[in-house]
């Protein structure tokens, strides 16, 4: 029932302006958002980063926002990333082969969906952020969004990698195309974050059942682990984590030759355990006030998250 009815409904609601107005207007929602979002400002993101670094966790920070239809807002997003990089300056960033600090970007927040020149605008904005990040010793990874953006996103990644070979990108195991994309991107130095995929996608392009998505994840994982790049295994799923460790061993990779990634506020104990066991563990830390789409995708992922949300909405519920 959750996977077939509630999940698609929540993912559709994630893009509905009407539901967005209702959900973001409720004070009870804001408390729950704090579980998944580090705060509204660059200072909040830096504070969360500092705490995570104390337990040896690596960090990637996302300034929340997506599907921007306003060129000024897309340009303002670049300013937020510059401000963020400036705020992070007092945290040690470079000096290691694997950079402990990274920022994650959504190209749709940088104007990718603007009519006519969206692709070129997003490329130009992403280039500015990559230049600023490189100067600060911080890596960048480009997030994956819905499948209509994949060709444009991967074209931008190919273009930017000529100048910034360390640029990472995300591939979503639920898409039929992804095993082939993994083969293309498994080359030397290539940083690929493999996730299951968080959007509502049609059967024409994406696997629909959990079993099919998991099987695809395992195939992609093997391609990346046996390739020559740097796999970034983004999942909270114990079965995928165990498979990654096994696949790394069979590909003769040491723990430092790949990393695990999880979202801020999810499975914190497991994040600490993996870091303490000597694995590279990077946490995706979102901040900003445009949290609605991100928050709804987290509710759609897991019945327990939704139940927690619904309980908090009950009249008289304590929070």
Residues taking part in catalysis: 143, 193
Q: Which of 65, 111, 137, 197 binds ligand FAD (CB under 6 A)?
A: 197
Number of residues that bind ligand FAD (CB under 6 A): 24
Q: Does 143 bind ligand FAD (CB under 6 A)?
A: yes
Q: Which of 261, 271, 286, 306 binds ligand FAD (CB under 6 A)?
A: 261
Per CB under 6 A, which region of 9-17, 21-29, 192-200, 287-295 contacts ligand FAD?
192-200
Distance CA 146, CA 18 (A): 21
Q: Does 266 bind ligand FAD (CB under 6 A)?
A: yes
Collapse the DSSP code of 294 into the 3-class scheme (helix H, G, I; strand E, B; otherwise coil) and give the result. helix
- Number of neighbours of residue 195 by Cβ within 10 angstroms: 23
State the DSSP H helix or E strand holding residue 286, giving kind and residue range, or none if neither. Answer: strand 280-287
- Nearer to ligand FAD by Cβ, of 176 and 267: the residue is 267
The least CB distance from residue 242 to ligand FAD, in Å, is 11
Q: Does 226 bind ligand FAD (CB under 6 A)?
A: no
Q: Does 218 bind ligand FAD (CB under 6 A)?
A: no
Q: How many helices and strands (H and E) does the chain possess?
A: 13, 8
Q: Encoding tokens for residue 177?
A: 């195309």
The least CB distance from residue 25 to ligand FAD, in Å, is 25
Q: Does 286 bind ligand FAD (CB under 6 A)?
A: no
Q: Which of 81, 185, 199, 295 binds ligand FAD (CB under 6 A)?
A: 199
Per CB under 6 A, which region of 35-43, 115-123, 244-252, 255-263 contacts ligand FAD?
255-263
Per CB under 6 A, which region of 25-33, 47-55, 120-128, 191-199 contacts ligand FAD?
191-199
CA 229 to chain centroid, in Å, comes to 19
Q: Does 235 bind ligand FAD (CB under 6 A)?
A: yes
Q: Does 260 bind ligand FAD (CB under 6 A)?
A: no
Tell me, residue by residue from 10 to 49, as one string, x for binding to ligand FAD by CB under 6 A and - for no binding.
----------------------------------------
Contact (CB, 8 A) for 134 and 107: no
Q: Which residues, including other chains, have CB under 8 Å from residue 173's CB and lie 6 or more apart?
A: 194, 195, 196, 197, 207, 213, 216, 217, 220
- Nearer to ligand FAD by Cβ, of 134 and 143: the residue is 143
- Nearer to ligand FAD by Cβ, of 161 and 298: the residue is 298
Q: Encoding tokens for residue 216?
A: 């695809």
3-class secondary structure for 179-239?
Answer: HHHHHHCCCCCCEEEEECCCCCCCCCCECCCHHHHHHHHHHHHHHHHCCCCEEEEECCCHH
Positions 300 through 319 that interact with ligand FAD (CB under 6 A): 301-302
Q: Which of 82, 128, 226, 267 binds ligand FAD (CB under 6 A)?
A: 267
Distance CA 21, CA 223 (A): 42
Question: Dihedral, CA atoms, 86, 40, 117, 11, nearest 10 degrees?
Answer: 140
Distance CA 287, CA 37 (A): 5
Give the Å distances, CA to CA, from 265 to 21, 198, 318: 24, 17, 20
- Nearer to ligand FAD by Cβ, of 21 and 143: the residue is 143
* Residues in contact with ligand FAD by the rule CB under 6 A: 143-144, 170, 172, 193, 195-199, 234-238, 240, 261-263, 266-267, 284, 301-302
């Amino acid at each position: 029932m959750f996977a077939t009815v509630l999940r698609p409904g929540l993912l559709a609601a994630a893009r509905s302006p009407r539901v967005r107005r209702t959900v973001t207007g409720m004070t009870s929602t804001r408390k729950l958002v704090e579980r998944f979002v580090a705060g509204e400002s660059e200072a909040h993101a830096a504070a969360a980063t500092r705490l995570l670094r104390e337990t040896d966790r690596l960090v990637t920070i996302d300034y929340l926002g997506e599907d921007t239809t306003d060129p000024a807002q897309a340009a303002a997003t670049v300013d937020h990333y510059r401000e963020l990089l400036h705020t992070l300056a007092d945290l040690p960033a470079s000096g290691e082969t694997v950079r402990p600090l990274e920022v994650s970007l959504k190209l749709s927040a940088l104007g990718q969906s603007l009519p006519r020149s969206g692709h070129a605008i997003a490329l130009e904005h992403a280039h500015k952020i990559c230049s600023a990040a490189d100067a600060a010793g911080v890596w960048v990874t480009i997030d994956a969004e819905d499948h209509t953006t994949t060709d444009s996103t991967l074209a931008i990644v190919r273009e930017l990698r000529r100048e910034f070979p360390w640029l990472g990108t995300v591939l979503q195991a639920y898409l039929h195309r992804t095993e082939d994309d993994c083969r293309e991107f498994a080359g030397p130095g290539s940083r690929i974050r493999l996730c299951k995929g968080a959007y509502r996608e049609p059967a024409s392009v994406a696997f629909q059942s959990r079993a099919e998505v998991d099987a695809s994840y395992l195939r992609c994982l093997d391609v990346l682990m046996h390739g020559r790049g740097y796999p970034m295994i983004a999942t909270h799923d114990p079965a995928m984590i165990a498979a990654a460790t096994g696949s790394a061993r069979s590909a003769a990779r040491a723990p430092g030759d790949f990393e695990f990634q999880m979202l801020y506020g999810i499975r914190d104990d497991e994040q600490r355990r993996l870091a303490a066991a000597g694995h590279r563990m990077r946490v995706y830390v979102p901040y900003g006030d445009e949290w609605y789409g991100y928050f709804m995708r987290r509710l759609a992922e897991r019945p327990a998250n939704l139940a927690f949300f619904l309980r908090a909405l009950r009249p008289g519920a304590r929070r």
